[in-house]
């Protein structure tokens, strides 16, 4: 019996453990931190051995195969020892893909991938037997173990792609690539780009790569590193022979002798970036033969993603917007770009090697005050201290919201769009966004 060791007892780890047990592996789950009670209950139910608070080296190194959760860097000593010993260390996406024959739509990108994944799933589930998993909701492995669908729409992070070997989505999608998570990539943007493009590394010409043709990083990489996939570009700026583009406020999509026209006004979501998300999702839906009328109807009913430009409340004619999911500069760029009113901006957290320069035009034009929310706000202060008259440092969401309430005037927007990770003060970006909403409702 092959020995499967799972490093990390979270969503992807426990999903992998359950699938591994079902497929006849002897499974051991090891987590250096604490495993949540709900996951312990699952492991106990399936009679899977586990440990927390340590990695017992002998038991881990005795593995035939190791699945490493995406939060564990490749550099940690235990992973290095496994690699040196020749034990394969893979991601959950790689492991789960071995046990399904489903048609896979795999979606990655620095920003927009959650919205695009949810929108793509919203379009295809109307007509196809489809599940949504990966970096969103249930783990892919858990879904394959419990209810193997004919189609999967997967949100896939760069960390998950780093651990693939044979994984091959029939339709791959790259929404955009901007600097993010550089602390995991030797602070080399090139390494991060290469990681994103791993989504297409096993594709052949019978597979498709949907990508943003306005993204210079993607276009430049494709020129230097051609892929085998059939390329399906989308663009707001230029017409495509094959793909999607915008012409006179009409979204035109053409793939494999199928064409679709939609007026951009039918989109439930606002903003140029959401036009792109709709293009990408529509192209994927056309490629898996969802009917045009279904795509049009579904596009109109999609309401978006929690914590992504989520309008919370209006108080005294001030709008409060939760964009906690903006954990990098590019995501915040879209938020600042899309808001037309004066902005009281709540920003900060764990800086991931951010360059705030691209935000400067919006800050000069629209931002009247910055409320720093983080343990170390040095970089924000250095970047904008000479531009903004009012900068306030805060160390809790309650304090940040109270300050914003005092500063904001009739007709302003209070925007939580941190451009940083959340782990200095919050469990994750959801916790940060939920606390923001709670504090606003207390007002």
Residues 232 and 107 in one domain: yes
The CATH number of whichever domain residue 348 belongs to comes to 3.90.190.20
pLDDT at residue number 188: 87
Residues 415 and 346 in one domain: yes
Going by pLDDT thresholds of 50, 70 and 90, the confidence category of residue 334 is: confident
Which string of DSSP letters, residue by residue, matches 229-286?
SEEEEEESSS--SSEEEEETTEEEEEETTEEEEEEGGG-SS-SHHHHHHHHHHHHHHH
State residue 157's pLDDT score: 93
Domain boundary among 301, 336, 355: 301
User: 3-class SS at 29?
Assistant: strand
Task: Look at residue 354 in the predicted model and tell me its pLDDT.
Answer: 86
CA distance 6 to 320: 42
In a domain, 95, yes or no: no
* CATH number, domain containing residue 24: 3.40.50.720
Are 344 and 262 found together in one domain? no
Looking at the structure, tell me whether residues 335 and 291 fall in a common domain: no
Question: Do 286 and 319 belong to one domain?
Answer: no
Q: Which helix (H) or strand (E) holds 103?
A: strand 103-108
Residues 267, 326, single domain; the answer is no
Instruction: Please compute the mean of the pLDDT values over residues 217-228 and round it to a whole number.
Output: 96
140 shares a domain with 256: yes
Residues 250 and 377 in one domain: no
Per-residue confidence at 184, pLDDT binned at 50, 70, 90?
confident
Inter-axis angle of helices 189-197 and 216-224, to 10 degrees?
Answer: 80
pLDDT digits (tens, 9 = 90+) for 282-315: 999 999 999 999 999 999 888 777 888 888 999 9
Average pLDDT over residues 411-429: 95
Q: What range defines the domain where residue 192 resides?
A: 100-301
CATH number at residue 202: 3.40.1190.10
In a domain? residue 222: yes
User: Is 64:23 a contact under the CB 8 Å cutoff?
Assistant: no
Band of pLDDT at residue 273, cut at 50, 70 and 90: confident
pTM of the model: 0.80
270 located within any domain: yes
CA dihedral 350, 331, 408, 385 (to 10 degrees): 60
Residue 135 lies in a domain: yes
Q: Do residue 159 and residue 282 come from a single domain?
A: yes
Q: Do 344 and 408 form a contact (C-beta atoms < 8 A)? A: yes
Q: How many domains are there within the chain?
A: 3
pLDDT at 308: 85
Q: Which of 301, 335, 360 is the last residue of a domain?
A: 301
d(CA 113, CA 168): 18
Q: Are residues 315 and 430 in the same domain?
A: yes
Distance from C-alpha of 264 to C-alpha of 398, rounded to nearest angstrom: 38
Domain end, chosen from 301, 321, 340, is at: 301
Could you say which DSSP state residue 74 is in? T
Q: What pLDDT was estimated at residue 112? A: 84
Judgement on whether residues 283 and 331 belong to the same structural domain of the protein: no
Verify that 154 and 256 share a domain, yes or no.
yes
Of the chain, the percentage scoring pLDDT greater than 70 comes to: 100
Return the axis-axis angle of helices 37-45 and 11-22, rounded to nearest 10°.
0
pLDDT, residue 177, reads 93
Please answer whether residues 204 and 172 qualify as being in contact, where contact means their C-beta atoms are separated by less than 8 angstroms: no
- pLDDT reported for residue 295: 95
> If you average pLDDT over residues 140-144, what whole number do you get?
96
Residues 46-67: pLDDT tens digits? Answer: 999 999 999 999 999 999 999 9
pLDDT tens, position by position, 2-28: 999 999 999 999 999 999 999 999 999
Q: Report the DSSP beta bridge partners of residue 51.
A: 30
Report pLDDT for 182.
Answer: 79
Output the CA–CA distances (angstroms, integers) from residue 272 to 147, 311, 337, in the order listed: 36, 17, 9
Torsion sign over Cα 366, 369, 374, 376? positive
Q: What is the pLDDT of residue 340?
A: 85
């Amino acid at each position: 019996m092959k020995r499967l060791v799972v490093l990390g007892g979270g969503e992807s780890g426990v999903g992998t453990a359950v699938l591994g047990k079902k497929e006849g592996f002897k499974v051991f789950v090891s987590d250096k931190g604490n495993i949540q009670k709900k996951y312990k209950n699952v492991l106990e139910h399936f009679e899977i051995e586990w440990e927390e608070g340590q990695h017992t080296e002998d038991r881990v190194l005795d593995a035939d195969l190791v699945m490493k959760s995406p939060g564990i860097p490749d550099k940690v000593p235990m992973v290095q020892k496994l690699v040196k010993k020749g034990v394969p260390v893979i991601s959950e996406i790689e492991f789960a893909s071995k046990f399904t024959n489903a048609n896979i739509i795999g979606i990655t990108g620095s920003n927009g991938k959650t919205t695009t994944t949810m929108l793509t799933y919203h379009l295809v589930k109307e007509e196809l037997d489809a599940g949504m998993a990966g970096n969103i909701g249930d783990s892919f492995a858990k879904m394959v173990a419990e209810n193997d669908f004919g189609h999967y729409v997967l949100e896939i992070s760069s960390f998950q792609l780093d651990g693939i070997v044979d994984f091959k989505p029939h339709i791959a999608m790259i929404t955009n690539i901007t600097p993010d998570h550089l602390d995991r990539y030797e602070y080399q943007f090139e390494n991060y780009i290469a990681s994103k493009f791993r989504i297409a590394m096993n594709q052949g010409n019978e597979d498709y790569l949907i990508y943003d043709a306005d993204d210079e990083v993607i276009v430049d990489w494709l020129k230097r590193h051609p892929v085998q996939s059939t390329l399906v570009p989308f663009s707001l700026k230029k017409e495509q022979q094959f793909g999607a583009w915008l012409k006179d406020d009409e979204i035109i999509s053409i793939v494999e002798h199928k064409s679709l026209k939609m007026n951009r006004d039918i989109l439930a979501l606002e903003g140029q970036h959401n036009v792109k998300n709709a293009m990408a999702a529509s192209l994927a839906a056309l490629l898996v033969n969802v009917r045009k009328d279904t795509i049009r109807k579904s596009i109109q009913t999609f309401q978006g993603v929690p914590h992504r430009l989520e309008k919370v409340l209006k108080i005294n004619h001030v709008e409060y917007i939760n964009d906690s999911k903006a954990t990098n500069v590019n995501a915040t760029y879209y938020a600042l770009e899309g808001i037309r009113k004066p902005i009281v901006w709540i920003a900060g957290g764990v800086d991931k090697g951010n360059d705030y320069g691209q935000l400067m035009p919006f800050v000069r034009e629209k931002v009247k005050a910055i409320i720093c929310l983080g343990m170390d706000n040095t970089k924000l202060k250095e970047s904008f201290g000479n531009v903004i008259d009012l900068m306030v440092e805060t160390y809790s969401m309650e304090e940040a919201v109270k300050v914003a309430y005092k500063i904001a005037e009739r007709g302003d927007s209070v925007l939580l769009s941190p451009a940083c990770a959340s782990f200095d003060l919050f469990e994750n970006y959801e916790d940060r966004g939920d606390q923001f909403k709670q504090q606003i409702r207390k007002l």
